Amino acid sequence: MKVGSLGKVVFTVSTNKVETFSGLKISSSASYGSHKRHGGNEIIEFTGNDADTVSFNMTLSQILGVKVAEELDKLKKYKKTGKTLKLVIGKRVIGNYRWVITKLNVTEEIYGKKSELITAGVAITLKAVSYTHLRAHETKANL
């Protein structure tokens, strides 16, 4: 059963495969400028919204039916090329546009007897990409 996806990384749970996430955190913030006034309190001014961020963890394991090296290669390529990705959880698209991977932490946990990676922990941080950024930097390779 498909739980969601990040680009071509599909979150799924079935009798043959478990590849899902934990600790999903969606953050948004706003920016304010401050103006000092002589003899008075400073005034703050709303200057806009910061880009939303999303972070979550994944455990990739051959024991759970996941091709660990393949999935890690996809994630590393997405980060390295700045590919914009759609994030879907259930039937809900998260965010208004797309996301880029800004941080990817991999903990290589278990290796097999042929030196193949059996299990890895992955912490992923995404940042929202605005529509104007997409249009200004749109390339066939990144969409």
Identity of the residue numbered 126: L
By C-alpha distance, which of 2, 9, 25 is closest to 90? 2
Choice among 10-14, 65-69, 108-112, 134-138 with the minimum mean pLDDT: 134-138
Confidence of residue 134 (pLDDT cuts 50, 70, 90): low
Express each pLDDT in 5-48 by its tens digit.
999 999 999 989 999 999 999 999 999 999 898 888 999 999 99
Q: Once rounded to an integer, what is the mean pLDDT over residues 54-72?
A: 94
22, with CB counted inside 10 A (0-12, 13-18, 19+), is: exposed
- Residue listed under structure tokens 């990705």: 85
- Name 122's Cβ contacts closer than 8 Å, sequence gap at least 6: 57, 58, 59, 60, 72, 75, 104, 105, 106, 107
- The tokens of 131 are what? 């529509």
Give tens-digit pLDDT for 73-107: 999 999 999 999 999 999 999 988 899 999 999 99
Which helix (H) or strand (E) segment holds residue 74: the answer is helix 68-81
Question: Which residues 6+ apart lie within 8 Å of 77 measured at CB?
Answer: 83
